[in-house]
Amino acid sequence: MRLQAFSDNRFVIGERETRCALGKGGVIAAEDKREGDGATPLGVWRLRRVLYRADRLERPQTALPCRATRADDGWCDAASDPAYNRPIRLPYPASAETLTREDPLYDIIVVLAHNDAPPQPERGSAIFFHLEKESYKPTLGCVAIARDDMFEVLRRADAATTLEVFKA
């Protein structure tokens, strides 16, 4: 399946169009992406795996690798750290994002194949595909959609599924 996110906040799931939220810094060429710029990288990104809050919802139906998040799950966003753009356990000595948030934004996280083979310092970390917040408020560089749309995506997704981010 091919998913498409456009800079004008359109999102296409197969033949159906809906809405999405993208980075508050707009969209940017992947090679120009920098840590903290708030931009969503343009390109084609494979869906690597799914993380979900088991204390808030049941395991999503999906063919993608999937596991429940733990209270100490984090993601390193410190560009000079060896674990940059990788999952870590909290507390962590370098800067890291908590994956079990108070709000529902990360109730479902799909890890995208952005800057992960291997991660390049300062090229952006924690670029996820996750749930939207507050009427599609802009993200810090991720792609976000409504919960029902995410469940549909996950039901239909497999190892070949890609998320393509375009400039409209």
Domains contained in the chain, CATH given: 2-166 (2.40.440.10)
What is the Cα–Cα distance from 97 to 123, expressed in whole angstroms? Answer: 16
pLDDT, position 11:
98
pLDDT, position 36:
97
pLDDT, position 134:
86
Residues 6+ positions from 136 with CB-CB distance below 8 Å: 9, 19, 20, 21, 144
Q: DSSP assignment of 99-113, as one string?
A: SS-SSGGGSEEEEE-
Q: Over its length of 168 residues, how does the chain's per-residue pLDDT go in tens digits?
A: 999 999 999 999 999 999 999 999 999 999 999 999 999 999 999 999 999 999 999 999 999 999 999 999 999 999 999 999 999 999 999 999 999 999 999 999 999 999 999 999 999 999 999 999 889 999 999 999 999 999 999 999 999 999 999 999
- The strand pair at 27-29 and 40-52 is best described as parallel
